[in-house]
Structure 1
């Protein structure tokens, strides 16, 4: 019996010893892991703030990247404050940020900053009605820090999973390079259609939407997502068009054959050719109107509108036609800005034409502030629509390259004309 007891002790002793050792070493491993994360967080802070001129972030919202790519410029000025601007927002805004501990260091822009939160706000709130009402562009403002060095900071969007890289700026590039990117965006915004020219010189339509290309027949499949840069287009990953692979397309200046220039791969095998037809330029922008720029036919209706509005105690401060926050229609600013509203109109491009649109009343009413509703429409604004309703207009301009003013001329009634402007015109009845 005693012999059996000794054997049992000998068998159990190693197990007890191992268990005791394991309990003693667990805290060491936990401390080591915590220490590593703490050091990684401090290292990220040091790298971000270590480059005082700032960083350029290649930013891509949405896991499917259907909203294109953008460039954000950031200066991390302390452990808690960061200043941001971007290629599509000229504002320079300072807010809070942090590098926090999760499974590893996470860079979070935790204070609201329109520059970056524009991409994560619901479509109803981002100002342009981009994306779904509840999810918007599905962009990130929190990023897992994968690598951090003086040469680059590699991030992974927590929500999208997209790989995003931050590159160091030098000198005053935060101020100067951001302006170059903003100018490039302004120019690119004027390109509304694109054609693809292959190696044989054959042209085909190229689908385009929000900084993505795809073959027109693909719908929203096989998106080629890119950022706009001062020298051309840079893609999220290797792209392919007409059998040619590339990661960037350089902009080539205009020639007689290509009046708006084109974008091409390094070997000039393909060309992506931008176009900006006047009817699309008109439809996609918001244009200001005034009495002095209305033809004889339209003035009759404007006179009636002015009388009716005055009798109802309503003043018209601004009057626009075109596209506002993704909606086509007419925008009215009333009572010295206290009331604003939009009434939708269909602005349809005439098939086979680059300079004709047909305008008709759609009739949906949107309150933009101050309780705008159907009562304002009935009080005289309806008269302003009459010379437009169910009419086809030719769009002309002094230049075809993103004109600041265009003339609308009724195809059937030549005296029914409207010269409209991108610049706002105050008090339209007296200007």
Structure 2
């Protein structure tokens, strides 16, 4: 503390001496307040001067930005900003979903912080949906931002950095003759056309260079081989364009660098704009499982429960809900047989257990009191002790043996920064997961399905 005090005094003396030799007017023609006001005015003019607005490829997911990009078209006028998105969202207080292509107007402001900050200052579902909490146990939601530090700017390109979560993004000036509705419609046309062909393989001049590039919900999971011959997987987010997709940043996989791709619906492929010899093309996985395979066989379900203290195996069956992609099975929890849903992926042939409401149960507390509770399945990581309430969070099957088929379960890749490896049966006081929590009834980890 004494050293700190001495240095502080020396610093003050030094500043005092300097003030004898120089005045602010000698260094700057404007005062600091004038410079701040000037900068804010210049950015206001830049934002509102784009008569047809700006395109922002917006990335939630924090610094990992690993849950996919969203296209936002923005027009700034006075204090107002009008936004259109390529995704439908339903904010916390919205009675209905805001549809893709629908415009929502709210307020924005420019703030003087250490740098100029662009703030979407009143609620707009199209951007605040990605930052708002998704329940009492999930304060950060999708880890998106609604305030951005402006780090660089030209007449046609403004670089933004999320103030809280840190993802870097670019706002690009939209050409005066471009039509917003057409652009968003084309983005979603490509999304819909390519969705059925998400199991991709990378080719260069017809030779395989990327053995797997699985696309789901604006994220491509690339397989790449390291120096030791080990195959690793890496997630890279992308946003749709009116012609294809653009990755969050130029990415090199197995020596191949790519950034933007053009979609060709005729041969179900994405062609690199940097090198037209590079294509991502649809190939059905060799371990693909038809949905009927699940319902026609019995399965041994093995798992570790009771917080990793016990192992067991039980026999389960799957039934299909109508002609949907939902499969139902029953598993044991505290002596009860609980019905839960598995979502079948008809592209990969795999199944997912996602966050879901299960049933109402009566619990007896240690005091002997009985209470009504609502049981939910929540994916979690047992080592970190964290669980996820977002509906997309879950674990997905992967083949570990072909005959008889054996499936293990890993993170489904739909949430940011997660490494989910099991699920918990969690009791709340209501059907909604933002209701008061009661606690964990049971845990499942090391889940294995073996065909009987």
TM-score (norm 1): 0.56
Structure 1 residue 239 corresponds to structure 2 residue 251: yes
Find the residue that maps to 1:44 and give its secondary structure: helix
Structure 1 residue 33 corresponds to structure 2 residue 48: no
Q: Paired residue for 2:281, among 270, 273, 279?
A: 273
CA deviation map 1:313-343 (0-9, x unaligned): xxxxxx98857xxx9769xxxxxxxxxxxx7
- Within a 5 Å distance, the mapping from 1:56-95 to structure 2 comes to 56-61=55-60, 62-78=62-78, 80-89=79-88, 90=100, 91-95=102-106
Deviation at 1:54, TM superposition (A): 1.1
- Within a 5 Å distance, the mapping from 1:197-346 to structure 2 comes to 197-199=203-205, 201-202=207-208, 204-216=211-223, 222-254=234-266, 258=267, 260-274=268-282, 344-346=340-342
User: How far apart, CA to CA, are the structure 2 residues paired with 1:250 and 1:81?
Assistant: 34
CA deviation map 1:92-151 (0-9, x unaligned): 1111111111112110011111111122123449xxxxxx93322211111112233432
Deviation at 1:211, TM superposition (A): 2.2
Deviation at 1:67, TM superposition (A): 1.0
User: How far apart, CA to CA, are the structure 2 residues paired with 1:22 and 1:173?
Assistant: 58
Deviation at 1:165, TM superposition (A): 1.5
Find the residue that maps to 1:223 and give its secondary structure: strand
Query: In the alignment, is the contact (CA less than 8 A) between 1:140 and 1:158 conserved in 2?
Result: yes
User: How far apart, CA to CA, are the structure 2 residues paired with 1:168 and 1:59?
Assistant: 14
CA deviation map 1:141-172 (0-9, x unaligned): 11112233432222222123332221222135
Deviation at 1:220, TM superposition (A): 8.3
* 2:359 match: 365
Query: In the alignment, is the contact (CA less than 8 A) between 1:252 and 1:264 conserved in 2?
Result: no
Find the residue that maps to 1:63 and give its secondary structure: helix
User: How far apart, CA to CA, are the structure 2 residues paired with 1:93 and 1:240?
Assistant: 37
Query: In the alignment, is the contact (CA less than 8 A) between 1:74 and 1:174 conserved in 2?
Result: no
- Within a 5 Å distance, the mapping from 1:123-202 to structure 2 comes to 123-124=134-135, 133-169=138-174, 170-171=176-177, 173-199=179-205, 201-202=207-208
Paired residues in the alignment total 293
Answer 1 or 2: which has greater helix percent: 1
TM-score (norm 2): 0.53
Find the residue that maps to 1:268 and give its secondary structure: coil
- Within a 5 Å distance, the mapping from 1:8-47 to structure 2 comes to 18=17, 21=20, 25=24, 32-47=31-46
Find the residue that maps to 2:260 and give its secondary structure: strand
When residues 229 and 26 of structure 1 are mapped into structure 2, their CA distance, relative to the original with a 3 A threshold, is: same
When residues 150 and 205 of structure 1 are mapped into structure 2, their CA distance, relative to the original with a 3 A threshold, is: closer
CA deviation map 1:242-295 (0-9, x unaligned): 4221221222342xxx4x334445433332123689x99989xxxxxxxxxxxx
User: How far apart, CA to CA, are the structure 2 residues paired with 1:177 and 1:154?
Assistant: 22
- Within a 5 Å distance, the mapping from 1:374-413 to structure 2 comes to none
Query: In the alignment, is the contact (CA less than 8 A) between 2:24 and 2:31 conserved in 1?
Result: no
Q: Paired residue for 1:101, among 98, 109, 112?
A: 112
RMSD: 4.5
Gaps of 5+ in 1: 1-14, 126-131, 284-318, 331-342, 375-431
Deviation at 1:180, TM superposition (A): 2.3
Answer 1 or 2: which has greater strand percent: 2
Query: In the alignment, is the contact (CA less than 8 A) between 2:199 and 2:348 conserved in 1?
Result: no
CA deviation map 1:352-377 (0-9, x unaligned): x9779899xx982389xxx9979xxx
Gaps of 5+ in 2: 1-13, 89-99, 226-230, 293-320, 330-338, 362-371, 376-452
User: How far apart, CA to CA, are the structure 1 residues paired with 2:172 and 2:241?
Assistant: 14
User: How far apart, CA to CA, are the structure 2 residues paired with 1:328 and 1:31?
Assistant: 68
Find the residue that maps to 1:41 and give its secondary structure: helix
Query: In the alignment, is the contact (CA less than 8 A) between 1:192 and 1:281 conserved in 2?
Result: no
